Amino acid sequence: MDGFHGARHRRVAHRIRRAAAILLLACGWSLIAAAETLAADPAPSGSSQISEEMRTKLSKRGDLTLRDATLIDALFTIREIWGVNLVVGNDVQGDVNGSFVNAPLYEILDAILVSKGYGYRPVGDSLVIVRLDEVGGVKPMFKTEIFSVRYVEPNELTSVIEHLLSPNGSVRAVTSSKSLVISDYPDRLQVIGEKIKELDSRAQLIVEGRSSSSLPSNTGSDIAGGDSGIPLPVSTNSGGAEEDQVTLVPGYFHPQFVDADVLRDAVGQLLSAEGKIA
* Selected residue with higher pLDDT from 81 and 239: 81
Q: Which CATH number fits domain 52-135: 3.55.50.30, 3.30.930.10, 1.10.540.10, 3.40.50.300?
A: 3.55.50.30
> DSSP string covering 179-241, please?
EEEEEE-HHHHHHHHHHHHHHHHHHHHHHHHHHHTTS-GGGHHHHHTSTT-S---EEEEETTE
What pLDDT score does 222 carry? Answer: 40
135-149, 159-173, 179-193, 260-274, range with the lowest pLDDT: 260-274
**For the residues 238-257, what does the mean pLDDT come to?**
56
What pLDDT score does 18 carry? Answer: 59
Contacts of 14 (CB under 8 A, 6+ apart): none
**Per-residue pLDDT for 218 more than 50?**
no
pLDDT category of residue 251 using cuts at 50, 70 and 90: low
Indicate yes or no: pTM above 0.75: no
**For the residues 249-266, what does the mean pLDDT come to?**
65
What pLDDT score does 122 carry? Answer: 85
**Per-residue pLDDT for 33 more than 60?**
no
What pLDDT score does 142 carry? Answer: 80
**Per-residue pLDDT for 123 more than 80?**
yes
Contacts of 125 (CB under 8 A, 6+ apart): 51, 53, 54, 85
Strongest mean pLDDT among 80-94, 122-136, 138-152, 212-226 = 80-94
Percent pLDDT > 90 in the chain is: 26
Local structure of residue 126 (DSSP, 8 states): E
**For the residues 90-96, what does the mean pLDDT come to?**
89
**Per-residue pLDDT for 168 more than 80?**
no
Q: Taking the domains of the chain in order of start, what are their residue ranges?
A: 52-135, 143-268
Topology at the third CATH level for domain 143-268: Ribosomal Protein S8; Chain: A, domain 1 (3.30.1370)
